[in-house]
A and B are shown apart, each in its own frame.
Chain A
Amino acid sequence: MNLSDRLRAERDPIRQYAIDYGLDFFEVIFEEVDFDQMNEIASYGGFPTRYPHWRFGMQYEEMSKGYAYGLHKIYEMVINNDPSYAYLLKSNQVVDQKIVMAHVYGHSDFFKNNMWFSKTNRKMMDDMANHGMRVRRYMDRHGVETVEDFIDACLSIDNLIDPHAPFIRRQGSTAEQPPSDHERETEHEITRLKSSDYMDRYINPPEFLQSQRESAVKKQEAEQHFPVEPQRDIMQFLLDYAPLSRWQRDVLGILREEAYYFAPQGQTKIMNEGWASYWHSKIMTTKALEPDELIDYADHHSGTLGSSPGSLNPYKLGIELFKDIEDRWNKGKFGPDYDRCDDIAEKKTWDKNLGLGREKIFEVRRIYNDVSFIDTYLTPEFCVDHKMFTYEFDPHTRQYYIDERKFDMVKQKLLFQLTNFGQPFIDVTDGNYLNRGELYLAHQHEGADMRIDYAKAVLVNVERIWQRPANLETVVDGQKKLFSYDGKEHNEKNLA
C-alpha cells in the first residue's frame, strides 16, 4: 500500500531537509505495511518476490514469533534499488515513521554514492522477481524437491565469492579451458643461437640448454595447471566447469548474482548503518522534531544505538566514528602536526577551526568500506572513549571473557572480524587434483581454525555440484590437513 496523506505530509519536508544537507539519494518509494507483511518482506530480505525456498519460511516463522512475544520489531527495511523501496510499519507512531524516513534517505544516499555499491544491480527488484519466475519454472518441470535440494547445495557455498571481483578487469571474458592432452605433450622448443658447428658448444652450451629446457617445462606445467592462478570466486569456477545441466547452471548463476548483490551490504554494515543513523539524528534533532515528540524520539534513538554489554552495535560504532571524523576535521585534529604533538592537554583542546568535517564525512562515505574505514579512522582516543575491548574464549570455563583493551589489539581483532565478512579465505587451487578431476580447495589459514563439522557438510555440497570428489586443505591445531568427500564417505589425512 502506498503512503497515506498524513505520512506524505511528513515525508515531503524530511526529503527536502535531506536534500538541503547535500544527501544525494535514489528516489525512495515508501510503502506502509502491517507487521505480518513486514515480517514476510523481511524474510525475503526486503524483496516482495523471490525464488521459493524453505529458509524464507523459517525466517518468517522466527520473525513472527519474535514479534508475537515482543522480542523484536522491525522498524525499517530499505532495499538498494533505483528507485529504493522502503517499508514502514503501519502501527508505528508518527515520530517513529519520521525517524525511519530520515534514516532511509541516509541509506539510499549511501547505496547511490558508496563506490562498493557502484557495481550492484540497481534494478534488482525486477531481477529478483525474474529469478523467482525461473526457479519456479524449474520446480514445475523437475520437481520442487530436486530444485530445492540443489539450491541448498548452492547456498552452502554462496559465501565463496570474491567481493572485489567486480572491480577487477580481467583480460578476456571467456573461461579458460582445461588443458587438453594434446597440449600436454607438445615438445618444448628451445631457441638456439645461430652458430657454426665447431662453435656450437660454446655459443649454445649444453648445460644452459638443459636448464632452459627445464624451466620451459616448469613454465608449461604451470600454464597447464588448472586454474592457472588460485581462484577465489569458487561459484564462478563451478559455473564454468562443473558438469551441470542447464537449469542447474542457471540456478547457480542466479544465486551467485544475488550473492554479489548482497555482498556490499555485508562489506559496509558499520558505515551504512552509521551513516543512516547520523542523518536521522541530524535531520530529526535540527529540523524535523516537534517538541512533543522529543521523548519518543530519544527513546527510539537510544534503543537503536544501545548495545547490550559486551557486544558491538554497528549502528553505534558507525555513527560515533562518523561524528568523530567530523569533529576531527572541523578542528583540524589530523595530519603530521597533530600526530607529532605529545601534549595531551593541547591535543584535547586542539582546534584549528577548519570546518572541514562535513565535507570529509561525505568523502568517507564515498570511498571506504568497513575494513578501510576502521583501518583509517579508528583512533586510540576513540577506543578508550568507547570502552572497546577484545574478548577470547576460555575452553575451561566455556566462557568468553574480556581479554584486553590495547588499541592495537582491538583494531586488529576488529579488522579480522570484518575482513572477508569475517569468513575464512578459500580458493580453488586445482580443478584436476591427482589428475582425476577432483576439486581441491585451499584455506589460507590466518591464525584461526575453521569449524570442521561445518566444513565437512559444505564439502558434501561441493561434491554434489562438482560431481567428483571435493577436497579441502586447512589447518587444525597447527597440523595441515586434507579433508575429502568422495560422494560416499569423508576422509581426512595429515599433510606435510
Chain B
Amino acid sequence: MINKIDKDQTRFRKIVRGKIREDLKKYISHGEMIARKGRNIVSIPMPQIEIPHFKYDHRQTGGVGQGEGDQGTPIGSEDGDGGPGEAGDAPGQHILEVDITLEELAKILGEELELPNIEPRGTKNIQAERDKYSSIRRSGPESLRHFKRTYRAALRRQITAGLYDPKRPMVLPIREDRRYRSWRTIAKPQSNAVIIYMMDVSGSMGGEQKEIVRIEAFWIDTWLRSQYKNLTTRYIVHDAAAHEVDEETFFKIRESGGTRISSAYSLCKKIIDAKFDPTEWNIYPFHFSDGDNWGSDDTERCVKILGEDLFPIVNMFCYGQVRSAYGSGKFIKDLQEHFEDEEALTTSEIESKDGIMDSIKTFLGKGK
C-alpha cells in the first residue's frame, strides 16, 4: 500500500502552521500554553480544527446514559474530559496538541515579526571544513565517473568536430571526454553564541513581572537558537548583590531587598572574561528589571561598566523594563540619556503580557 496519508498529513500540518501564525500573538502572550517536549520539540494546544455542521446544543438536549447513581448525581462537566455520551460537544473540548519543532516555531516567529537574520560578527567564526562531492574533474577513479557529463562532453566534441550525424545519433566518448565526480572543500562558518540573562529579583518584581521575563526569554532563546548552532545560556539574578544561578532557580527564585544593578553587570563582565572570549563568541546580555535602581551612584557605576567593559565586546546589550506597580522605572531613562547613539544598546519597555511581542521585535529586529 502506498502511503497517501503523508500528503494529507502535510496539508494538515500546513494548516496548523497557518493557525499558529494567525494566533501568534496569543501564543506569545500566553507562554504557559507552550509545553516543552524533549530537546527540540514543543507542543502547542489548539482548538481542534473542525468542519462546522448544523447541530444541537448538547447542553439543551441532554441524553441517555447507563450506570449507577441517584437523581442529581453529576456525571461529567462541560469542559472536562468529554461529557457523557457524545463526548466533546461543548466548546473547547477537543484540544489538539500539535507538535512542532523549535526551528519551525522560530521560522514562524521570524516571518511574522519580520525579524532579520543575524549576521554573526566576522572574526568570531570558527571555520569548520567539510568535503562535499559537488565538483567535476577530468581525472579520477572509474567508480566515480559521471556518465551524463561524460556523454555531454563527448557530444559537444563531436558536434564541434562535425562528427555528429543526427541521422545516426551515435556518441562515442573517448578518453578526454571522461568526467569524474570530485569533492570541493567547503569552509563552514560555525558561530557560537551565549545569552546571559540577568534579572532583578528585588522585592518590587512580582510574579507577573517574572512571568513576562520567562515568556520573553523563551522566545529569545527560540529565535537565537535558530540563528546559532551553538547556543549557551547563563543566568544571573540580583538584588543588592548578584549571583549566577541555573535556569530553574532563575525563574523561580523569590528575593527581596534593594536593587543594585551594577552588581549584575560586573558579574556579567566577570563571566564573559572567564569563559567567553569575545573573539570567539557572540555575546547577548539581556537584563530585565523594573527600573528601580538604588541611588544615582549605582546608576553611574552601571553606565561606566556598560560603556567601558560591556558594549565593546557584546553583539547587543538588551535592557527590558517590566512595568511594576512599585518600581519608579527611572533606569531606562537614565540609560537612554547616557547612551543616546549607542549602537550596542537596545531598550524596551514591557507594560504587560500583550507587550511581549513588540518587545521581542525591538530586541531582535536589529539583526545583530
Contact = CB atoms under 8 A, between A and B. Distances in A.
Interface of A: 33, 37, 40, 43-44, 48-49, 52-58, 60-62, 65, 144, 148, 152, 155-160, 307, 309-313, 316-317, 386-393, 395, 397-405, 410, 413-414, 416-417, 422-424, 426, 443, 447-451, 453-455, 457-458, 461
B64 A399 contact: no
B55 A450 contact: yes
Contacts, number: 199
B208 interface: no
Nearest to B59: A393
A310 B64 contact: no
24 contacts: A33-B1, A40-B3, A43-B5, A43-B8, A52-B8, A57-B11, A65-B97, A156-B51, A159-B54, A310-B84, A312-B65, A312-B66, A313-B66, A316-B66, A388-B65, A391-B64, A395-B59, A397-B74, A399-B76, A400-B84, A402-B72, A417-B85, A450-B57, A455-B54
A363 B71 CA distance: 37
B70 interface: yes
Contacts of B78: 393, 398-400
Contact of B66 (A387, A404, A416): A387
B275 interface: no
Name which of B49, B61, B74 has the most chain A CB atoms within 10 A of its CB: B61
A401 B13 contact: no
Contacts of B7: 52, 57
A423 B61 CA distance: 11
Contacts of B54: 159-160, 423-424, 426, 443, 450, 454-455, 458
A40 B6 CA distance: 9
B166 interface: no
B60 A400 contact: no
A461 B11 contact: no
Contacts of A393: 58-60, 62, 78
Contacts of A65: 97
Given A397-B77, A458-B54, 6 more contacts: A40-B4, A307-B66, A313-B66, A393-B78, A403-B62, A449-B57
B307 to A, nearest CB: 53
B75 interface: yes
A-B pairs, top 8 by smallest CB distance, nearest first, are: A57-B12, A57-B8, A457-B52, A310-B75, A57-B9, A393-B59, A54-B11, A310-B84
Nearest to B79: A398
A309 B51 contact: no
B71 A403 contact: yes
A387 B68 contact: yes
Given A60-B9, A423-B53, A450-B55, A413 B74 contact: no
B51 A417 contact: no
B110 interface: no
A156 B52 contact: yes
B133 interface: no
Interface in B60-98: 60-79, 83-87, 91, 96-97
Nearest to B75: A310
Contact of B65 (A159, A391, A449): A391
Contacts of B84: 310-311, 391, 400
Interface string B264-298: 00000000000000000000000000000000000
B170 interface: no
A158 B53 CA distance: 8
B134 interface: no
Contacts of B87: 311
Given A52-B7, A424-B56, A62 B96 contact: yes
Interface in B95-130: 96-97
B56 A388 contact: no
Contacts of A389: 64-67, 69
A386 B66 contact: yes
Contacts of A416: 61
Given A156-B51, A399-B78, A403-B62, A58 B68 contact: no
A413 B63 contact: yes
B64 A450 contact: no
B52 A40 contact: no
B55 A400 contact: no
B86 A422 contact: yes
Contact of A58 (B12, B66, B76, B85): B12
A402 B73 contact: yes
B351 to A, nearest CB: 32
Nearest to B77: A399
A254 to B, nearest CB: 16
Contacts of A160: 54
B66 A417 contact: no
Name which of A310, A317, A395, A414 has the most chain B CB atoms within 10 A of its CB: A310
Contact of B9 (A61, A313, A403, A447): A61
Interface string B249-277: 00000000000000000000000000000
Nearest to B86: A422
B14 to A, nearest CB: 8
Contacts of B79: 398
A413 B12 contact: no
Nearest to A48: B1
Given A53-B8, A311-B85, A401 B60 contact: no
A417 B66 CA distance: 14
B33 interface: no
B15 interface: yes
A305 to B, nearest CB: 11
B116 to A, nearest CB: 29
Nearest to B13: A57
Contacts of A403: 62, 71
Contacts of A58: 12, 48-49, 96
B357 to A, nearest CB: 27
Contacts of B48: 58
B51 A450 contact: no
A401 B65 contact: no
B177 to A, nearest CB: 41
Contacts of B65: 310-312, 388-391, 402
B75 A392 contact: no
Given A52-B4, A52-B11, A448 B57 contact: yes
B66 A400 contact: no
A392 B62 contact: yes
B60 A309 contact: no
Contacts of A443: 54
A341 to B, nearest CB: 27
B91 to A, nearest CB: 8
Interface string B138-170: 000000000000000000000000000000000
Interface string B157-197: 00000000000000000000000000000000000000000
Contacts of B14: 54
Contacts of A391: 62-65, 75, 84-85
A414 B51 contact: no
A388 to B, nearest CB: 5
